[in-house]
Structure 1
Amino acid sequence: MAKQLDYKTIREIFRRFHEAEPEPKGELEHVNAYTLVVAVALSAQATDAGVNKATRALFEIADTPEKMLALGEEGVIEHIKTIGLYRNKAKNVIKLSRILVERYDGVVPNSRAALESLPGVGRKTANVVLNMWWRYPAQAVDTHIFRLGNRSGIASGKDVVAVERAIEDNVPADYQLHAHHWMILHGRYTCVARKPKCPSCLIRDLCQFEDKTL
């Protein structure tokens, strides 16, 4: 775990991220708040590309909880069986769809607590939905962000909640909205797990990682 960077350095890091990509976007395909919830829930232990490939046809016929319930669990399985843990995920999709219909009139709630009460939806999923759909500055910490935060010193923490808090506490307010997207994309494509691409990294001179690649 790297030493936590100071405010001035973190501001410069995010200034560079912003300059390189002013409006970073999440890579999960969706058409509304409901399909975003489903896509993010399906993305656990799976790649965004793999989820997108599976959900394109699914969301064409089931883009509301009512339509998903009509499709049924077996119908969902047929569409998502290329995704890991697909049987359990199909059960959760049907369960959360039923709860949305019965408790929320088919509308996705914009409360973290309400989102986290849905089957298959944890804190990370709730934060992604709050950020991407309602543009709330929520920080969804996945393995990429956890790795980057601790390697670089942007957000040091022993667990994902600690890293989430560190982002909230240390990233300047004007960069909070897109912070997790900049970090996830940097962690996914540059600060990769095994051989980080330090020579092409735009924050390599500010990063605290001691084992930089040549």
Structure 2
Amino acid sequence: MPAIKNTTPKSPARGEPLRRAVLDAAEALLREDNADFSMRDLAARASVSFATPFNQFGSKTAIMHALSARRIDAMTKRFSSAPPLRDAADRVLLATAIGAEVMLEEPEVNRTVMGWIGAAAPSPGQVLAQSAALWSLALGAGEGLAADRLDRALLTLPAQLAFGFRGVLSFWTAGELPSGALASNAREVASALLAGFVER
């Protein structure tokens, strides 16, 4: 007698693969224009138990924060694989362009994610720290910045650039800034922040 095949979908392994499966499912639902998905919808899409998204993330807001972190990871990887630039200001402007590029690849999905990360979660997210880390990477050792302001630049600019980029994204998310103007406005904000730290 031939063996009967088990056709039940396999649930993902525990730990990071399980978290990844939940996030993949959330992205898939957003791509289908289903921003109002329930945690039950999400569990079904990820082929996991109803409790799993709660156990792994705690709330839908936390899931959106994790999706935002994915976008920042994509920006960081793309920046790290770009040809190296010697000047810190040029690297920051490159990171800004890459950031806008990543957000514009899936504008509707990313607008939804951005809209959610402004909401309070049960515990504070890490979006600011992750974003600041990208700008810190771009600044590097501050090559080309004014020597007498270098320490202050490396200390303050990563968070300020994160605030500035997030500010531009918030107006884009709200529909006040068209997609065609996202990159140029993000560049202008970054340039204005850098202006106080470059050699005159």
Q: Same fold (TM over 0.5)?
A: no
Higher radius of gyration, 1 or 2: 2
